[in-house]
Chain A
């Protein structure tokens, strides 16, 4: 089997989640290739090599810089047809989902999404997809090739192999409808404060904090633990915390050593952004909160009672 992985990047850096998919593919198939699109593609190819790509197809063209899906479908179609790939893998994102589905229709290829793992069974590829609020794990397969798959971000760790990739430029003709949509503006908020993606410790707050001013509890706890504050989408939409702190499907994907969830129910859209955390501590007053199903320490109780005392205990411990 021959696999190619779509690598996303911004700010001159490759995203970690698709590099994780690359590592898994290289492990599973013995070798895996990658595609990088945009004017920094050639510069990033070496980094893709260091993370295990054997061949990196680069569509190095400033016209492809705007993060729009359709031109990427054209590039991938060319790569898949010329390279004869039978497997095309993506790490889910707003952009990658649209690219993958567009490519599926273009190539008449099966697409399985929301996978958390991939394995070979009797020469067949089998994907693992959590379903029904993650209460079951479904095995999915493909009929024919190419096979397309979207993975949950954070399903696999990126692995630095120190390899050197062969770089192949791609010249893709763009379909007429691929250039009709244009990006006229983007208002990307600069991340305020330390980067959540790189944080070792994250303390996140949800609606259970009860009021915007109670995010101070999360901030105090984060400060004593040397961490950064995150938030649920509900808290962000309520205006309690900046959008740059949002963790989840439509926010950041994080994998700290410690994730503390305060007053967070644990909706699957939140979970997908933090399930890569090494240890999860959740405080929630509802004993049946879904967050407890993926917590290492499930604390049933009121954040307003527990967190101030926790901060006190941790300060005392530090002081001594």
Chain B
């Protein structure tokens, strides 16, 4: 059983938008997207339950993303593949899914896991585009995953309750952060990760044309950034009889 886990290197909490390029500034320190630790954890659990398997971490990102891949290896994944190429900067959903699909075509995993969203871009849609390119089914918001006999049974959370979906492998699954409590990396894990194989690929290595990645391969653009309109007439109550102030507000708005 080969399990691929797609993980993203995200800027740490102090994310900002670069005024010049109008893109998220990814120059600062980064980290493994928190939601992707749930995907790594689930991959390890599937492997542990089956008693065999190869867990490969796949990421596209800046050079610094190697640390993020190592962080996933420290949790117990077996090896990593990082696509890092200046030509990939500014990739949108279309371009990113194209590049990741290329890596996954090479790897031919039985199961492809994603986190539920990237904490920076928060599209929460990438898996569906990758799965479409690979011609495999995808299931998102998974809160339970059982892999058995070449099939998967996935419980997913929707707005109206839980759905249970079954599909043959290969399959792409985006896990909810409710699916598990990810383990922490042990010191031993961190040490072991340093010796695990990590392959770094360029777009050329993957046979992806420059026009197919980065801004050139993208079909969405950021045009400008503005402060959001403030909610007009907001009122604040910090002291005095707060309950009375609420009653007055409700009366004024004819809500009581």
Contact = CB atoms under 8 A, between A and B. Distances in A.
B21 interface: no
Contacts of A141: 220-223
Q: Which of B225, B237, B238, B250 has the most CB of A within 10 A?
A: B250
Interface string B223-239: 11111110101111110
Interface in A262-320: 279, 281, 283, 287, 292-301, 305-307, 309-310, 312-314, 317
Contacts of B140: 94, 97-98
B204 interface: no
Contacts of A101: 93, 97, 123, 125-129, 132
Interface stretch (B58-66, B77-85, B155-163): B155-163
A297 B171 CA distance: 48
Contacts of A178: 137
A189 B256 CA distance: 32
Contact of A281 (B127, B159, B223, B249): B249
A134 B93 CA distance: 21
Interface in B116-145: 122-133, 135-141
Interface stretch (B28-36, B49-57, B183-191, B240-248): B240-248
Interface in A217-251: 225, 237, 243, 250-251
Given A143-B220, A297-B237, A104 B165 contact: no
Interface in A83-119: 93-95, 97-102, 104-106, 108-114
Contact of A189 (B123, B126, B161, B218): B161
B17 A136 contact: yes
Q: Report whether over half of chain A's contact residues are helix, strand or loop; otherwise say mixed.
A: mixed
Contacts of A298: 234-237
Interface residues of B, number: 74
B167 interface: yes
A232 to B, nearest CB: 14
Contact of B222 (A10, A105, A140, A243): A140
28 contacts: A93-B159, A94-B156, A94-B157, A98-B128, A101-B97, A104-B129, A108-B219, A109-B94, A110-B93, A110-B218, A111-B92, A136-B225, A138-B22, A140-B223, A180-B168, A184-B164, A186-B161, A201-B255, A243-B161, A279-B255, A294-B231, A296-B231, A296-B233, A297-B245, A298-B235, A299-B246, A300-B242, A317-B256
Given A94-B158, A181-B137, A281-B250, 4 more contacts: A102-B128, A180-B137, A296-B234, A313-B247
